[in-house]
Amino acid sequence: MQGEAAGLRQSRKLDHIRYCLQSEDGPGATGFADISLIHNCLPDLDLAAIDLQTEVAGLRLSSPIILNAITGGTSDVTELNRKLACAARTCDIPMAVGSQAAAIQDSSVRESFSVVRKENPDGIIIANVGANTCPDAVFLAVDMIKADALQIHLNVAQELTMPEGDRNFQGYTKNIKHITQALAIPVIVKEVGFGMAREQIAELSNLGVTAIDIGGCGGTNFAMIETARGSKQASGFLNAWGISTACSIIEALAGSKTNVDIIASGGVRTAEDIIKALALGSKAAGIAAPCLQILINEGLEALTSFIQRLQYELRCIMLLTGAANIKSLQTKPVVIIGNTGQWLQLRGIDLTQFAQRPNK
């Protein structure tokens, strides 16, 4: 039975990659179009001196880009993960692997994950498990790649659209707390594209997690991917479900009363998206689907060039806001309008605190 379950996961992973390459973002919007930064025509800065360094979950990053969870768990993607790790090493950015559930059950596919550490021995590598994973299996996942941090993914909406998916989600909070207490490395909880509200973010903050990746809607849509896979459960009724990435970021900042770091992901496609996420208060931004698409369609060199171009463009946009570093960027005014502004105002969040920042 275990072998059968692992085989289903491996087949599903290949389906996800195939449909990810074919699918467009959405249909929900990320909300980034509703966010505007203020142009500074007198920045008094040197582009070469713009500092992209940030710190997430106690880990020091040279730039605020995380190569977010993509794949693993089948021998067919070992080479993909090796190349992704190579790009992460070349560009000096962290990399999160995809769900390690199949490799926990089937040792024959562990190489599809361990190759990441072999290719990037000194980089920041993040393990990935589901919220129902027992602590012993978590230890195995972490040790498999000598992980620097653990990502616990929340994918309830996706599970409900899969015929082989989970239907019982009781005990998630209790298990997450057990994991945070058992592990010595930072724990990041991540949504997979349906966003987070401040009530659950506040609950997660109290469980001992170190960072929260809000994984908002507007990017890769796993409900639509399950529909494309032909699932009878995925009739499209959840295709527009979720909270936008922009709203989720601000919900997170409103909901987190502790020192939990916020990571933005979900439809992050450009340097401007990343800067807007950072300006709202995120410590870093995760990007996944575009990297996979570029790697498969154009190759490793094109992927590294894409990431390096993002890093250059981040510096340019920061200079145009008058921000010498990310801490300074988060003091710059941000104007929030449209559906995002209406949502947040109805949720009781004062948007003038963003638009009338002191601009230090």
Per-residue confidence of the chain (360 residues) as pLDDT tens digits? 344 344 445 555 666 677 667 677 778 899 999 999 999 999 999 999 999 999 999 999 999 999 998 776 676 789 999 999 999 999 999 999 999 998 999 999 999 999 999 999 999 999 999 999 999 999 999 999 999 999 999 999 888 888 778 889 999 999 999 999 999 999 999 999 999 999 999 999 999 999 999 999 998 887 788 777 765 555 678 888 999 999 999 999 875 666 799 999 999 999 999 999 999 999 999 999 999 999 999 999 999 999 999 999 999 999 999 999 999 999 999 999 999 999 999 999 999 999 999 877
Tell me if 36 is assigned to some domain. yes
Q: Give the separation between CA 39 and CA 245, rounded to whole angstroms.
A: 23
Tell me if 360 is assigned to some domain. no
Tell me if 253 is assigned to some domain. yes
Q: How far is CA 144 from CA 66, 140, 330, in A?
A: 20, 6, 37
Domain that holds residue 315: 2-355
Helices (H), the chain: 2-22, 78-91, 101-105, 111-119, 135-145, 156-161, 172-182, 198-205, 222-228, 245-255, 271-280, 289-298, 300-321, 326-329, 338-346, 352-355
Tell me if 73 is assigned to some domain. yes
Question: How many helices and strands (H and E) does the chain possess?
Answer: 16, 12
Tell me if 293 is assigned to some domain. yes
Tell me if 59 is assigned to some domain. yes
Tell me if 204 is assigned to some domain. yes
Domain total in the chain: 1
Strand partners, 55: 60
Report the CATH number at residue 199: 3.20.20.70
- Structure token pair of residue 157: 């909406």
Tell me if 175 is assigned to some domain. yes
What is the value of pTM for the model shown?
0.92
